[in-house]
Structure 1
């Protein structure tokens, strides 16, 4: 699954970081009070994710395995700082609205997870599109959650009034509990669609990485089948590459 189209489709649908992998829940629940906030946070994360994936992939041959996580964080933090400065200069309202969640992109598990499981083991171009695909999936999820919360909580989307004058806003959707309600409803809807497709013979059971069951030659470092067998018991640890 290394061509551009597959990586984009993977991030948007098969491995959507929010609706499928359930990653990045902190910004997902905190900033999606409106569609604009969700869109802004998603696009900001996508830029950092795509560029960090690209650089990590290009440097994977010279980053020592034992210090790869600190190296990933330094690279990601550099891009987050640059993006935050650009937001402060050109979109200060969005920067103020997202607040502390922009610096926290540095430790976002989506970015670190893709760096570890994909970019560190694959060529630069597929890694770039993997970052774009995951970023688009994250943006889509946050925008959907923000749009639903804004519509029900304020009767508008992107600041445009869509509900009739008689509509009474449901204020809880603009508060923290509303984020959980909307996320749960959208995940349930996604699971329903998956079940319908499964009954139609289009199963999405293997949504993780297109697993080939060939663990010896597998490049997916985050795959749980490397560590656990089909019966759930833990496998014996393999020696580090540098120690072989």
Structure 2
């Protein structure tokens, strides 16, 4: 039985990831900040809900303690919770704007990873999947043929570039744990006003693959549903 904890699991990519992993036989713990929405999502999925606000140290610690008391182990941690932040004119961007995005998209991953590491280390095949984005790829955002090149979202793109680099550092430093980053691609979710051409099922292909692949699949990778993503 594979125990999987997903942050931001009450909607969008997190919800669909939970649904698909449950279909794969995983026991999913659906993490979300809003108790009402989280409970409703977990009930619909057949998952267990645990409240977690990745911007709050105490909330993250309490979530890890809850899982330790109930499941006792985590095999897969999916760091999915994320926010978009301001887009458009970078001249209007403030330090507070950027800090708010980084606090969820990067520091939130650090908080969750640190809190759940003891539980992951109890697993025979521990896996961390960080949900990054091609929007954080220098290669893709500078390629005129790619949709990523037409968007100006300074805080979000910077946060996802940082998250991909953070993933590679965790992969080097956390021995015995596979740590990889997934690019969902341009997927219709609340984050983009449902403007993406991909379905949430297509958008979770890379996440689900990284969460279910064999132990020798490799670590420190950045992939989308088609394969490796160029990010430098």
Shorter-chain-normalised TM-score: which range?
A: under 0.3
Q: TM-score, normalised by structure 1?
A: 0.25
Report which structure shows greater RCO (CA 8 Å, sep ≥6).
1
Normalised by the size of structure 2, how large is the TM-score? 0.26
From the two aligned structures, give the one with the greater strand fraction: 2
Instruction: Kindly name which structure, 1 or 2, has the bigger radius of gyration based on alpha carbons.
Output: 1
